[in-house]
Amino acid sequence: MKLSHGVVGAWAASNLVLALVHLAFRPRPLPFFIYIGGSAVVAGFGLAVLLAMRAGHDGPQRRQPRRASAAVVAALGAAMGLTGFAYGWWLSVLGVYLLGVAAWRVRGERLRPGARPWPVALGDAQPADRPALVYHGSSIGTAVPVPADHPAHGPPPPAPPAPEPSATVRRGILLVLLVSAARAIVNVLKGRR
């Protein structure tokens, strides 16, 4: 599991190295700082991953929101707000109202404390089993056989008959090999002279 933030960290570090190599070519300041900035953003993401892991937020997420209507309204508000750039800032003010509506609606989507740790239904579905319980892998938990009707037990695909190269192809391959060998011998002989 530790590899998670390691991947991000190593990737950001390799970008940092490439940015430092860039220094040897005397770049203008802006490209250099853009590169450093981009690497820093990724490093920040890696740090967030590390902190989340230390806070125990890794593993399957069991608490789920019921709906995302606030997200829809918020996106429309953001779109309207930015479109004010083209049609006038009054539109941006309307967008702020929509963001307010989204903030108000998001409260209803939050989980109440009593809902933990089982997932609340997504949309219209019933609550699912805890994902941790349905795992029967090798690292934790108790392994049980995969049910007989599980698709993994399906028959392997029938092996297609191995295609035989036609006589023409065989002759062609032989011809190419002979010509190549002849050319190689000629080249060797020329080289000796």
Of 38, 100, 165, 172, the residue at the interface with other proteins (CB under 8 A) is 38
C-beta closer to other proteins: residue 57 or 171: 57
Burial, 46: exposed, middle or buried (Cβ in 10 Å; 0-12, 13-18, 19+)?
buried
Burial, 155: exposed, middle or buried (Cβ in 10 Å; 0-12, 13-18, 19+)?
exposed
CB of 125 to other proteins, least distance (A): 4
Q: Which two tokens stand for residue 12?
A: 């950001």
Residues 118-147 contacting other proteins, CB under 8 A: 118-144, 146-147
Of 107, 160, 168, 189, the residue at the interface with other proteins (CB under 8 A) is 160
DSSP one-letter string for 50-72: HHHHHTT--S------S--HHHH
CB of 67 to other proteins, least distance (A): 3
Amino acid identity, position 182: A
Give the range of 20-28, 167-175, 176-184, 185-193 binding other proteins by CB under 8 A.
Answer: 20-28
